[in-house]
Chain A
C-alpha cells in the first residue's frame, strides 16, 4: 500500500467534464419560480472520467479487504465473499426492478424472498422472517419492536424493561433504548456465562424479554440456555437471539430449538455478502409462530429491505445446500480452537475450555514492562499486526477484560494462512518481551502512521470546505 494524498476536490478545474448525457430533444419546460431556485454555488468537483477512475483506484490501494488478506476479527464474521454473488446481484432483471411494481411484475424477486424465508427458517428453527431491516442493529431494533408489539397486542402494557448481559454487543442496549425499553444488566460469571442466580431476581411482570448472544461475545456457548429460556418464559418474557454469532451454529444447532422467540441474522457476516467498508448489510428478523401476527404493522425501511444483499446471500445458501452447511460451523469452530491452543502460552487466556467460533485473550503473558518503559498493550499488538499484513482483531471488547483481544478466524481461511498468523502473533509477543517500544510505535509499514485522534475530536474538520 502506498500513501496517496489527493481529495477529488483538489483535482477540479473549471470547465472540466466527467459526464455524457443525451441531447435535450424537448421543448423547454417551465422554469422554477425564482423564489424556489437554488441561489448558492454548488461546490462539486469538475473532473474528467480518467481523473475519477485514477483517483478512486488510488484510494482503493490504501485499503485492506478480505480479498487482500486475513481478518482475525472477533464479533464480525469476515469470511470470503464469493464472486458469483456479485454477478447475480448485478443482473438487470433484478437491478432494474422498481420497488413499487406489483406482484405480477416481480415474480422472480418474490420467489427469492420465499426461498430465502424457507432456507433461513430451516437453518435457524424460526417460523418466518421479515427482510426489511438493513443491518444487524436494525434487525435488533425490529426484533425488539416485535417483542413490544406482542406484549401490547395482549394488552400487557407494563413490560418496559429488557435484560441485557454485561458481555453484550453495544448495539443491544442502544437498540433497546431506541425501542423505548429500559435496559437491565445481568452479570456474567467467572466462567463467562450468564449468572442464572443473578438473573432470577430481575424477572417479573415488567420484563419484556432478554437479549442474548449464543455463543456469547466471549465465544462461549451459554450452557444453561434451557433453564434461562424456561425462567424468562415463566415470567412472561420473550427471548431475543443476536445473530451476530450464528456462524458456529451453522448446520449444527438452531436458536429456534433452544427456546428463542425472535432473532436476527447478519447476511453480511454469516451469509458471505461483502461488508462494503461498513455496509450495505441486511438483518432479516425471524420469529416463532406465535409472533407471526406482530410483524405486519412494523415498517422499518422504505421498501423491501436491501434486496441486492438478500440476492447475494441466497446465492451463497444455494452453494452450501444441505450438503455443506455443517462444515461452515464446524470449520469455523475448529480454526478458532486451533489458534487459541497455539497461542495461549504467550497470550493470557482468561477462560479455559473449548470455544466456539471466536475467543478472547486478555493481553500478553509478558508485555515487556520494566522500569521507565510501559508494557505493550492490546492496542500495540493490534497495530503491530498491520505491519505483518494482517487486519487487527477486535480489541477492548467485550468489556469484561481490560486488555481484551478477540479473535475469529472463520471457516474460509486455510491452515497455511492461520499458521502464518500464529507465527506472527508469537513473533509480536517475543518483540514485546524484548522491546515493547517496537510495538508502541507500530504500525511502521502502513501508508500512514498512528493518527492524532484527540485533535480530530477537539477541532473537528468534517468536510473539505472546513480545512
Chain B
C-alpha cells in the first residue's frame, strides 16, 4: 500500500501522546462510543493510492470527457481567463486561509473582499454589496426571501418566465419550503411583458425577479417596470450577467432595489458548473436585511485604515434562527478571481469583451440564417452574446455532427429552440467552421 504523507506522527510520538492523554491505546480514545457503533472490518474503499497513481487515475478520467469548443451559455459562459488569475489565486495565503474572523491576520482577504464589493456596486449601480453567495440561482433565492422579509404581510414573489431555467428551479425549491408563493410572468415576445406584470401585481406581491439579459439572450427593456413594482409596494430584483453590465443599462439605472446574478462570466472556468460565485448588491435601505458576510472599513488603534467583517448582527452565528439567512461559507476565493479579473480588464477591457462577443454572435446569427436551416424566433430583439433560433430539422442530428466536429453548440431549449453563445474566445475562422458543419448536414 502507498504511504500517506499528510500525517506527521511517528510511533514514538503516538506513544508519548497516548501516555499524556492517560490512555493505553488509540482505541481507548473511543471508550465512550458504544461498542456496537464502532465499525468492524475494513471500509469499502479502494486501497490507498500513491500520488503518482492519483495523477494517472485522474488523467484517465479526464480523457473520458469530451474536449469541445463551447458555443453554449445558459448561465455558464466560456469567457477567457487571464493567466494572472490562477497564478495569484493559488497563493496559499489566499487559498488555505480560513474565514477572516481574525482580522489582524486576514487583511489580505478582507481587502480583496472590500474591493470586490466596490466593483460589484460599480457594475450594478447599487449602494451595498455582500461578500458573495454560492451561485447566481441561490443569490436569486436569497433575494426572493429578502423581498418577503422587507415587505409587510406579503407572501408572493413573481418570477419572469424569461429567467434562465435553473434560476427558476432553484428559487421555486427555496420558496416551496420557505412557504412563499411563486407566480410566473409571461414573456410572449421574448421578453418579460410589462402588461402581464401589471396584471400579476396583486396586493400580496412582495417582489418581482426580472432578467436583465434573459434566457433567450435578449437585453430586456424595463422602462416603466420599477414604477409599476414600487406602486404595488413590492421590491424589484434584477438578475444580471455582470459581464454584460459594462454595456447594458444597470439595475441601478432601471430603478431596481436588489441586483443578483452569477459572477462566473467574469473570468471563472466552466468547471462543470462550479465553483462559481453568486453576487448580491442592494439599495442602502435594505443593507441590514441583506444575507451573507459584509466587509467594512474602519481604523485600528494606531489610526490606520483597516478592514473587518461588519454588520454581523444579521448573521447566523449571532442571531441563529432570527438571522437574515443561514449562509456561512460563501465563495470567497471565487470573489478574488472576479476581483483580479475586473482589475485587469478595467472599464475598457470589459467593454471590449462585450464588443468581441456581441460582434461574433451577430456574425454567427447571420451566417446561421443564411444556411436556411433555421427560422428566426424573435427578430429585431436586441441581444449581445447569446441568442436562440428555431431549427427546421430535429436538432439531435445537428448536435451530433457538431460534437463530432469538436463543437458544443445548438443546445435545445424547453421551448423547442436551439441556443448559441459566442465569447471573445471564438474567432471568425472558428465560427465559419461551425457554420460549415451545420451547412453540410
Contact = CB atoms under 8 A, between A and B. Distances in A.
Contacts of A334: 9, 14, 17-18, 21, 26, 29
Contacts, number: 676
B317 A170 contact: yes
A196 interface: no
Interface in B349-365: 349-353, 355-356, 358-363
Given A59-B107, A451-B298, A460-B128, 18 more contacts: A17-B349, A26-B428, A56-B336, A76-B99, A87-B55, A98-B408, A101-B272, A257-B36, A276-B333, A301-B274, A307-B274, A321-B46, A323-B4, A324-B48, A383-B104, A451-B104, A462-B295, A462-B310
A99 B178 contact: no
A340 B95 CA distance: 30
25 contacts: A25-B428, A32-B382, A41-B347, A55-B343, A56-B91, A62-B107, A63-B109, A64-B93, A65-B92, A88-B58, A123-B45, A175-B326, A223-B32, A279-B330, A302-B76, A308-B275, A319-B49, A323-B48, A324-B7, A333-B29, A334-B9, A382-B102, A415-B17, A457-B313, A465-B121
A20 B349 CA distance: 8
Interface in B164-222: 166-167, 169-170, 172-174, 177-179, 219, 221
Which 7 pairs across A and B sit closest by C-beta, in order of nearness? Answer: A303-B273, A321-B48, A29-B362, A99-B273, A276-B333, A93-B62, A280-B275
Interface stretch (A135-143, A285-293, A362-370, A426-434): A135-143
Contact of B104 (A137, A298, A354, A449): A449
A62 B105 CA distance: 6
Contact of A180 (B45, B179, B315): B179
Contacts of A300: 138, 170, 173-174
Interface string B24-40: 00101111111011110
B247 A320 contact: no
Interface string B109-124: 1011011011101110
Interface string A14-58: 001111111011111110110111111111111101001101110
Contacts of A35: 221, 223, 249
B231 interface: no
Interface in A253-290: 253-254, 257-258, 268, 272, 274-281
Interface residues on A, range: 35 or more
A177 B326 contact: yes
Contact of B111 (A59, A173, A268): A59
A226 B34 CA distance: 9
B249 A108 contact: no
Contacts of B66: 101, 104-106
A178 B325 contact: yes
Interface in B283-327: 287, 293-302, 304-306, 308, 310-313, 315-323, 325-327
Contacts of A414: 8-9, 13
Contact of B298 (A55, A61, A257, A452): A452
A183 B321 CA distance: 7
Interface string A454-466: 0111001111111
In this complex, the member of A45, A82, A455 whose beta carbon has the largest number of chain B beta carbons within 10 angstroms is: A45
Nearest to A106: B65
Nearest to A220: B32
Interface stretch (B67-75, B370-378, B433-441): B67-75
Nearest to A134: B134
Given A65-B96, A177-B323, A321-B47, A96 B111 contact: no
A230 interface: no
Nearest to B123: A42
B348 interface: yes
Given A141-B326, A177-B321, A452-B299, A93 B67 contact: yes
